[in-house]
Structure 1
Amino acid sequence: MKKPFFSILILIFVFSANAATSTRALDFDPIWSYIMPLMQGSLGKTISISFGIIGLMAAVCRLNILAIALIFAVAMGLYVSPIIIENVFSATLPR
């Protein structure tokens, strides 16, 4: 029972130096700057609306209101997730 815990602990210590000393890589910035406006622009709104229509149809077919709530949450997550991802990865710790 203790072996997996210690193995994970050792891996964290081994790779923490690499994580702490790494610099910000700019390899994926062009991809991110292309995807983020799409998800919050016309493509994201179109996908969100289509999720809403699919959710309404699923709710009517299954006579279940939970499908509407689930699809509404997915549509909101699609629109808000680029903001959350950018804030999480650009966060700094106070000194």
Structure 2
Amino acid sequence: MVVGLMVFGRMALAGTGGEEFDPIWQSLQGWMQGTLGRVVAGAMILVGLVGGVVRQSIMAFATGVGGGVGLYNSPTVIESIMSATIHPAFV
């Protein structure tokens, strides 16, 4: 039965429906990749730099940079994951 479902399965689409939440997603995406996101990412990097100087370790700076880069790029990653499609093995 499982093999039959795998062979004759239909195309799966992720992220379909839910258009009523599009304005919310666009606002969050604008905040994260707009001026607010840049300010927060810069603050994370600055706090990481200060923490690295205080602790005399580069790891706090690396964590701040990673957090800032992750915050800015997270909408792109989420869009890539949610808009992925799975095509059937046998067409």
TM-score, normalised to structure 1, is 0.72
Separation (CA, whole Å) in 1 of partners of 2:35 and 2:82? 25
Please list every run of at least 4 consecutive aligned residues from structure 1 whose deviation after the TM superposition is greater than 4 angstroms. none
Determine if the alignment matches structure 1 residue 79 to structure 2 residue 72. Answer: yes
Separation (CA, whole Å) in 2 of partners of 1:49 and 1:41? 12
How many residue pairs end up in the alignment? 76
Question: Which of these residues, 50, 61, 69, is aligned with residue 68 of structure 1?
Answer: 61
Q: How does 1:1-95 map to 2 (within 5 A)?
A: 24-95=17-88
**1:5-64 Cα shifts (integer Å, max 9, x gaps):** xxxxxxxxxxxxxxx9xx512232110011101111101110011111101110111111
Structure with bigger helix share is 1
Q: Which runs of 5+ in 1 are unaligned?
A: 1-19
Query: 2:72 corresponds to which letter in structure 1?
Result: Y
Separation (CA, whole Å) in 2 of partners of 1:34 and 1:61? 36
TM-score, normalised to structure 2, is 0.75
Higher relative contact order (Cα pairs below 8 Å, separated by 6+ residues): 2
Q: Which runs of 5+ in 2 are unaligned?
A: 1-12
